[in-house]
Amino acid sequence: MAERQVISVPLLHEEAVRFTHRSGLRVHLIPKEFSTTYVSLGVAFGSLDICIPGSPDILLPAGTAHYLEHKMFDMPDGTDALDLFAALGANANAFTANEYTAYVFYSNERFEECLQALLRFVTTPHFSQQAYAKEKGIIAQEIAAYEDDPSAALYMRTISALYPTHPIRNDICGTRESISQISPALLKAAYEYYYTPSNMVLTVVGRYDEQAITEILDCVLPRESSPAPLRRLPVVECGSPSADNLYRMDIVCPRFSIGYRDAVQNQSKLNDRRGYALDIACAALFSRTGDLYRTLYRKGLIGRDFSAVYEWSWGCGHLLISSESERPEDAVAYLRDYLMQIGEHMPSEEDFLRVRNAVYADTVRVFDSPEDIAAADVEQAMCAGDFFAHPDLIRSLTYPYFCETLQSMFTQGQSACVILKPEV
Amino acid sequence: MQPIVHTVNDRLKLHFLRDTRFKSEILSLHYLVPFVPQEASLYYMLPHVLQSGSAHYPSEQMIARELEELYGADILHRIVRRGNMIEIVFTLDMLSADYTLDKSDPWERGAAILYDLIYCPLFVCGAFRGDTVKREATELSRNIRDSRSYKDILALDTARKLVCGDTLYAKPLMGTSKEAKAATPEALTRVYHDFIRQANVQVWYAGNRAEQTVLAFARQLALLHPCTPLHLPNAAPLLPPLSRVRKRTEKVSARQSQLVIAYRMPLSVDSLYWETVLLFNAVLSSSPLARLFRVVREQQSLCYSCNADLDTVAGILYIIAGVEPGKEVETAAAIRNVVQSLAHSDVTEEELSSAKNTVRHYLLSATDEQSAYEDFYFNMLFRGRSPDISVILNNIDKLKKEDVLHFGGHLREAAQVIIAAGGGQNG
């Protein structure tokens, strides 16, 4: 076991224990006095992992990580791993993100048996032809559900327009065409490359016995010679965005989305200082506290759902602004003009400090939910970040840095716009 | 984990829960008022209009800034149907003073804003402002129309209307687009005065503040609500007797069809009724061992999602599935078989034990989230039930598989809705 570290945030009275197990698995333990213990096992294999490196590389169709997540629950004896958790009185689930796949359970009792079950099923692959074929239809229906959802459709079309060549443009589930190219052999190959203990992070939040956890890990996981970094592919080119895009759908109200690509956030590690500065920018510029919202709302150009968000993923970052609108073209034109002259609309230092405190409070509130803590911890660990460091990082942000970041976002970044309108 | 209840007067109670585990404090005001179908849109608009400006904070921007100053405190509202009443809840969520960077305490200003928004509205000549009402009416009307854009919502809404016929329950909580558009400042002002006059008020607090501070706030509110007897939700059956199964199919432009089968459930005031419903639902749909998931999705691969949605006040069980076009009839037959199997065949001990675990887990987990516990607590309170989780868990343990089968045997199919995907530009 590599050195055991105790990380603390004195301001919040929070701490975590971190160590690397002899198998290479990174372990994060976060004690909390909740009745539920929440566990997340993150595997550094997400929708952005589009190949298995080798000679030659094996290309993975869009949706491979997600397909593998669905099939991991099949056990060799024909049972479903979810049954094990249900029998133990726990809830289990899994999801695939751009950068990773997470297997989670939460239990009120028999925590150790549940942990053992989690580790066993993630380390016991079983890819039968019959079960594999059955899943294809189910995933096709999952894809269709997202395609019919106007909000999800608007989001995916904006991302696709922003990134013509980056794999983030693909839906995490893939498409009907791409999943038809996935075979049991391909899933097995992806599993063998990515599903190793040294490519995983285990986060436990709640009440636990550290000694018992270590004994379970010793019992279930193999010993690896040396810890290894998470397996990450090189950053991919993003391509030139397609500026204006109109789609029609069976909807009642038109909606629009504008995406600005972040020219600076293009590395494999999140610049979380910049990320938080742009989170503050979203709240300061686009929320109900700002003049922009009031002006657009009074002109009837946006609805109450008007929102802006900054997102980061592997090698790319973007700021998305979206809303319902009866006049989407006018709303887009107004916003583009406004943001092109961002220097004239820079939030004041007073605004910056007020919003910075609010964003700080949001990160503090994460500690109120075992589920949110586990999700934030795994997500950050997968992106080489540390969410325990975030409250201090936000406190240290300065107004000049904020202005500089905001200026660079809208003057250097490339943009794309998508308008969804009712069918004619 | 039980709040201390103070009866401040006949109309107002404080439910005070001291809980030091969280870094936020929650102060919620729950108002119960009768549901008047023809005024549904006005009641739905009311919290939006109140939150768009008050006497001391005349614009939405000013309110938002004040709250942001308090470390991003938030005031949210929600509207819930409670039998023949509706509940309007305003919640103030703020960071505890122990965790603010300058150790400032957001409570006093936060509580003052909440009070101001509800009790000091922005009136011009004794009524809400015309431009505010017009803007909110336009917004609500658009939202009502836009709900058709989401096919699962459309399917559930259609099923509810078919099952409820001409009753109070058929009326959507938001009203209709036409009613929303017709809202006037005078009508909304009248509704506001009715709301304050009639409301039964329950104050909820969860956090680490001294009880006396919150009690003083509750007493201040109580002065604004004259004493009259309490009127809690009517749990009596609201729906007409079942006649025939009503069916509707609508073709839309989409990739996936939505199927809803609605059943009327037995309603009872039996002390274990709610526990039986929870357990039946766990056997049917709320875990991976549940029958809908195992049979319809895993064995027959007919859909990605197939879930039950329960309305325990009206007594309606909805089963909704997103289905591949062309497989609607097959999926409907599979769902009917699953429901019938829970009435006529057996429930295994393994299923029963798993379902009990699911319910136990659901109840215990609710105590770990501030908003989840508040929801659970008021659900119990408005049912006239004790919110003591240990009592409910004991009751669940007492239930046998015969109870589940007996409940299943009394389900009656009431409606089937198919929102069929069929071509179009998204099809």
pLDDT tens track for A35-68: 999 999 999 999 999 999 988 899 999 999 999 9
Which among A107, A141, A294 has the least Cβ separation from residue B304? A141
Distinct helix (H) and strand (E) counts, chain A: 15, 14
How far, in Å, are B25, B328, B334, B352 from residue A380 at the CA level? 27, 42, 43, 39
**What stretches in chain A show pLDDT beneath 50?**
none
pLDDT higher than 70, residue B236: no
Q: Which CATH architecture has domain A5-220?
A: 2-Layer Sandwich (3.30)
- The C-alpha of B341 sits at a distance from chain A's nearest C-alpha, in angstroms, of 20
Which residues from A are below 8 Å from B64, CB to CB?
287-289
Which residues from A are below 8 Å from B252, CB to CB?
250
pLDDT of the residue at B230: 57
d(CA B228, CA B10): 6
Which among A145, A150, A300 has the least Cβ separation from residue B256? A145
- The C-alpha of B303 sits at a distance from chain A's nearest C-alpha, in angstroms, of 6
CB within 8 Å of chain B, chain A residues 106-145: 106-108, 134-135, 137-142, 144-145
d(CA A39, CA A220): 16
Which among A251, A287, A361 has the least Cβ separation from residue B64? A287
Cβ of residue A252 closer than 8 Å to a chain B Cβ: yes
- State the DSSP string of B368-412: TSHHHHHHHHHHHHTTT----HHHHHHHHHH--HHHHHHHHHT-E
- The C-alpha of B412 sits at a distance from chain A's nearest C-alpha, in angstroms, of 29
pLDDT higher than 50, residue B151: yes
- The C-alpha of B178 sits at a distance from chain A's nearest C-alpha, in angstroms, of 15
pLDDT of the residue at B233: 58
What is the pLDDT of chain A when averaged over all its residues? 91
pLDDT tens digits, one per residue of A329-351:
999 999 999 999 999 999 999 99
Each domain of chain A, given as residue ranges in start order, spans: 5-220, 244-422
Contact B99 A142 (CB under 8 A): no
pTM of the model: 0.93
pLDDT of the residue at B427: 36
pLDDT tens digits, one per residue of B9-21:
888 999 999 999 9
Contact A145 B305 (CB under 8 A): yes
- The C-alpha of A250 sits at a distance from chain B's nearest C-alpha, in angstroms, of 6
B246-421 fold: Cytochrome Bc1 Complex; Chain A, domain 1 (3.30.830)
CB within 8 Å of chain B, chain A residues 146-175: 147-150
pLDDT higher than 80, residue B271: no
A244-422 fold: Cytochrome Bc1 Complex; Chain A, domain 1 (3.30.830)
d(CA B357, CA A90): 7
Instruction: Output the CA torsion B25→B15→B381→B167 (10° steps).
Output: -70
pLDDT of the residue at B425: 44
Residue labelled with tokens 């059956």: B237
Choose from A106, A157, A357, A373 for mutation: most chain B CBs within 10 A: A357
pLDDT of the residue at A103: 97
Average pLDDT over residues B74-100: 94
pLDDT tens digits, one per residue of B42-61:
999 999 999 999 999 999 99
Enumerate the H helices of B29-129 as residue ranges: 40-50, 60-69, 107-119
CB within 8 Å of chain B, chain A residues 354-373: 354-355, 357-362, 364-365, 367-370
Residues forming beta bridges with residue B323, ordered by sequence position? B257, B303
| Percentage of residues of chain A with pLDDT beyond 70 | 97
pLDDT higher than 90, residue B81: no
B352 to chain A: closest CA residue: A87
pLDDT higher than 60, residue B423: no
- The C-alpha of A310 sits at a distance from chain B's nearest C-alpha, in angstroms, of 18
Which residues from A are below 8 Å from B59, CB to CB?
294
Amino acid at B410: H
Contact A108 B255 (CB under 8 A): no
**Do residues A422 and A248 make contact, with C-beta atoms less than 8 angstroms apart?**
yes
pLDDT of the residue at A74: 87
CATH superfamily name and code, B4-222 = Metalloenzyme, LuxS/M16 peptidase-like (3.30.830.10)
Contact B139 A137 (CB under 8 A): no
Q: What are phi and psi of B225, to 5 degrees?
A: -120, 105
Contact B61 A291 (CB under 8 A): yes
Each domain of chain B, given as residue ranges in start order, spans: 4-222, 246-421
The two domains A5-220 and A244-422 share their CATH topology (first three levels equal): yes
ipTM score of complex: 0.90
